[in-house]
Amino acid sequence: MAEPMARRLSDLHRLTQATALFLLFVGTSFLALNPDWIDRPLAKAINTVASNQPFATRLASGAIHPTTEGAIVVSLLWCCWFSHVGPESRARLVSGVCAAVLAAFVAHFLQDTLPTTPKPIFDPALRLQIPDVLGDAAVLRSAPFAGSPGFPSERAVLFVGLAIAILLVHFELGLLALVYALLVELARVYLGLHYPTNALGSLTLAATLAWLSQTRPSLELGALILLWERGAAPSFYLCSFQLSYLIIAFQELRELAESLLP
C-alpha cells in the first residue's frame, strides 16, 4: 500500500515540475514572438563583442560542430546505459531518449507554426556582421535555410533532452552532458546563430518532456522496450546503434533533406 502511494506522489511531483517548466516555455515563447523586447537588443550587443574577439569567435565556431556534439552526447548516453544494468534505470533512460526524440519532432512542428523571426545573422531587422568563421556572408544569406526560424531549435531540444535523460539516471555523466550541451548553445548565441530565447525555449521544452517521461506510464513504455532487449538483443542493439548514428548525423541529414525538398 505504501509503495503505490509513494509512486503516485512521485508522479504528482514530476507532473508539477513539468507544468512549471512548460509555463516557463510558454513565457519564453511569448518573448520570442516579441524579439524587440529582449532578443534583438541582446543580439546586437553580443555581435558587437564577437566582432572584436576573433579568437573567441574561432573557439565558439569549433564548439558548435553538430557531429561532434552528437558523438559526445551519444557516447555519454551509452556509457550511462552500460553503467546501469538494472531494469528500472534502463527503463528511465529509454523513456528519456524517447522523450528527447519526441521533443525534436514537437520543436519541428512549432517552428512551422509559430511566427518567430529568422536567426539573428539572417534577421533583416538587425543586419548583423556575420563572423568570418561561418563562411562567406553572401553565400550564407542565399542558402535555403537562411530564412528558417530557430525557435525552438530541433537540434538543441534533441541533444539537451538526451543530456537530461542521462542526468536523471546518472548524475555525474548527465551533468557533464548537460553542461557540454548548454555550452554549445551559448556558443551558438555568441555567433548569432540563435537568439537567447531560442536556447532557453529549447531547454525548457526538452526538460518538460524529459520530466514527463519519468512518470509511471512512460516508464512502463520503457519497460516494454526493455523486453525487446532481453528477448532479442541482437536486433535491439542493431536498431539502437542505427538510431545513434541518425542522432549523431542529425544536422547533416536534416540539411540533406532540406536540399532535396522542393
pTM value is 0.89
Handedness of CA 161, 213, 110, 30 (dihedral sign): negative
Question: For the domain 2-260, what is the CATH code?
Answer: 1.20.144
Q: How confident is the model at residue 27 (pLDDT cuts 50, 70, 90)?
A: very high
Give the C-alpha distances (Å, rounded to integers) separating 254 from 175, 230, 246, 251: 27, 33, 10, 5
pLDDT (0 to 100) of residue 253:
65
Tell me the sheet residues that pair with 149.
118
Tens-place pLDDT, residues 128-176:
787 777 766 666 666 555 567 778 888 899 999 999 999 999 999 999 9
C-alpha cell at 87: 531494469
Could you please report the per-residue DSSP string of 173-230?
Answer: HHHHHHHHHHHHHHHHHHTTSS-HHHHHHHHHHHHHHHHHTTSHHHHHHHHHHHHHHH
Is a pLDDT exceeding 70 seen at residue 12? yes
